Structure 1
Amino acid sequence: MNKSAYLDYILDQTQKILSIDSPTGFTKNVAEYVMREYKSLGYSPKQTVKGGILCEIGEGAYSKDALCLEAHVDTLGGMISQITDSGRLILTPLGGLEPNNTETENCKIYTRTGKIYSGTMQMKNASVHVNNKYRSTAREFDTMEVVVDEKVNSKEDVHLLDIRVGDIVCFDPRTVLTESGYLKSRFLDDKVSVGILLGFAKYVKEENIKLPRKVYIYFTVFEEVGHGGSGSIPSDVTDIISVDLGCVGEGLTCTEYQVSICAKDSVGPYHYDIVTGLIEAAQNGNVDYAVDIYPHYASDVDSALTAGHEVRHGLIGPGVYATHGYERSHKDAILNTFLLLTEYLK
């Protein structure tokens, strides 16, 4: 296996997917792109009712013992909740978007008539030379606003642009791949793992891998609001592994160069046998990994269990710093996540 070739493909696909705006509830364009890529690899993906993607990539001997690998294409974003009398836009978050992480960020406003405008998220009265409370003002969605890059001075001016309450606001991902191998961007959660699962499907096809069981890849579109993986799980699935993110921070062992294996999150412990199997696969394949507990985390697999699916569950992902902000990982973590999948599914 040419590891570097698959890594290059994953990084290229991840950057392309990051360039497609897709906050939760606004994922049609990215789903269409991913569907096309799977078809180009020789697969037959199907779209779910909610707009997700389900694709079978391996037929094993155990027809009633299938594995589902999940990742999500939806990201954080905003929706217009109010248009002010001065022509500014007040947002409500889509998912866990933090207002202090959006200050001075460029964004796009997508109208329902198909028009797209640019703007910038600022705190109200944003000039330091004018506002003597600039430093002390808490950055909240009701103290911040989108300044539209058009000559608008009133609510009526904004309406003439076809901008309305309920329109989607998408933030610039600011994607950078450094020469030293760091991938920096908004929305690595979870588009980097979408790229990894594309790479895994490419590996299975090109290397003519005979998987030991049937494997589905499932891309969900509502993970950031908690119900992405709650439905459309095929009836023969007994195990689900969410391929999402590993957190990097104080009190944790994972780094930006490792694959994380999660033992427990805010919902509870992951299935003991799945976690143990992932650890053994990492050790057998000399994959650089870490095991951690994430008290402020929930995954698509949690929503599947909450919805009543009788499955065993696991969670892995590349180590990512500054999750839900301007995130950073390294190509080593991305490769280690890919290699863990190949080793686990030998």
Structure 2
Amino acid sequence: MNIDLKYTLKKTVELLAIPSPVGYTHNAIEWVRKELESLGVKKYNITKKGALIAYVKGKDSNYKKMISAHVDTLGAVVKKVKKNGRLEITNVGGFAWGSVEGEHVTIHTLSEKTYTGTILPIKASVHVYGDVAREMPRTEETMEIRIDEDVKTDQDVFKLGILQGDFVSLDPRTRVLENGYIKSRYLDDKLCVAQILTYLKYLKDNKLKPRTDLYIYFSNFEEIGHGVSVFPEDLDEFIAVDIGLVAGEDAHGDEKKVNIIAKDSRSPYDYTLRKKLQEAADKNKIQYTIGVHNRYGSDATTAILQGFDFKYACIGPNVDATHHYERCHNDGIVETIKLLIAYL
């Protein structure tokens, strides 16, 4: 399989550079729309919730498959403008507050003007607070944003146009290393979006069609549990493309392999579909792991909990330190794309 890894990495980096915390994803969806156009995918629509569903005609129109990846990421929302000119924030999506300490952020106002800042503990300096700064728990109540402007009071902040409800995005700090590793915030799930685009590029470059009609869903609320909520009535099976987990007692992933999930915190995945995916991997000598993830959910199991009736699975690249400063390897990226090609 001639897979354009350079394209995958290029598109991953481009998408990672577009802020898209849950609820503020319109720019990322527009980027995906333009990429689909460039790949010759002309049939798509934007849902009322702002997600994008594309359609590619396959060889067999009597069976319908769908794959998905999500453009939304973790982030925050301004909860309160404090009297001292700092911002109290609340998270969107699940992350540990210690994982974002010291991170550079961008505040997105309703006027579309942006300001930068830093997430800090309310008692940050060991010179001032000593061991209190070291030992204080990192929680929503003990973290704040220091704005990179001359603000000393809440009124100073309001004059900038910053208000409660404004979205906050974190710097992804993307690094593509020469030894094959890529590390960044939000490989979950922007890397998977780029992998799906690479699959579509493979079809275009090789003048191929999927075996069956194929829907592609780019969701925008996955991180808070209601990403894919509109489904074609004729859908037979749905595969969410999302990250696998590395390290830990219940995560045996390998960054150089694709992950096929057997069960997450919501449900086991469909047995027959998972078996077909493993058989496709074995037949094509694709390196994979099987994941049982106890603190994890995907758009696929969210859909099943809503009562939709189709087979469902989840595959994706194994990523280390998920929902923190994440890392993956080119080999695992390629193995995931190979599995998409082999199965679809």
Q: Which interval holds the TM-score relative to the shorter structure? A: over 0.9
Q: Which residue of 2 aligns with 1:67?
A: 65
Instruction: Give the Å deviation of 1:211.
Output: 1.9
Q: Map 1:1-346 onto structure 2 (within 5 A).
A: 1-3=1-3, 6-44=4-42, 45-63=44-62, 65-132=63-130, 133-229=132-228, 231-251=229-249, 252-345=251-344
Structure 2: distance between partners of 1:330 and 1:57: 29
Structure 1: distance between partners of 2:92 and 2:58: 37
Any gaps of 5 or more consecutive residues in structure 1? none
Instruction: Give the Å deviation of 1:278.
Output: 0.6
Instruction: Give the Å deviation of 1:196.
Output: 0.2
- The C-alpha deviation readout for 1:74-105, integer Å capped at 9, x for no partner, is 00000000111000001100111321111000
Percent identity between the two aligned chains: 40
Instruction: Give the Å deviation of 1:297.
Output: 0.6
SS state at 2:236 partner = strand
Instruction: Give the Å deviation of 1:304.
Output: 1.0
Structure 2: distance between partners of 1:319 and 1:13: 19
SS state at 1:237 partner = coil
Report the number of matched residues: 341
Instruction: Give the Å deviation of 1:155.
Output: 0.3
Structure 1: distance between partners of 2:205 and 2:190: 22
Quote the RMSD (CA, aligned, Å).
0.9
Q: Name the TM-score, length of structure 1 as normaliser.
A: 0.97
Instruction: Give the Å deviation of 1:2.
Output: 2.3
SS state at 1:16 partner = helix
**2:247 partner letter:** G
**2:304 partner letter:** L
Q: Name the TM-score, length of structure 2 as normaliser.
A: 0.97
Instruction: Give the Å deviation of 1:58.
Output: 3.0
Structure 1: distance between partners of 2:59 and 2:225: 31
Instruction: Give the Å deviation of 1:114.
Output: 1.4
- The C-alpha deviation readout for 1:203-230, integer Å capped at 9, x for no partner, is 112211132210111000000110101x
SS state at 2:60 partner = coil
SS state at 2:54 partner = strand
- The C-alpha deviation readout for 1:249-279, integer Å capped at 9, x for no partner, is 1233221110000001111110000110110
Structure 1: distance between partners of 2:95 and 2:200: 31
Structure 1: distance between partners of 2:57 and 2:248: 39
Structure 1: distance between partners of 2:300 and 2:202: 24
Instruction: Give the Å deviation of 1:238.
Output: 0.9
Instruction: Give the Å deviation of 1:57.
Output: 2.0
Structure 1: distance between partners of 2:157 and 2:291: 48
Any gaps of 5 or more consecutive residues in structure 2? none
Structure 1: distance between partners of 2:264 and 2:210: 29
Q: Is the 8 A contact 1:72 1:228 kept in 2?
A: yes
Where does structure 1 differ by over 3 angstroms across 4 or more consecutive aligned residues?
none
**1:108 partner letter:** T
**2:86 partner letter:** R
Structure 2: distance between partners of 1:72 and 1:210: 23
Q: Is the 8 A contact 1:57 1:201 kept in 2?
A: no
- The C-alpha deviation readout for 1:6-61, integer Å capped at 9, x for no partner, is 11111110110000000011000010001000001111232111111111123232
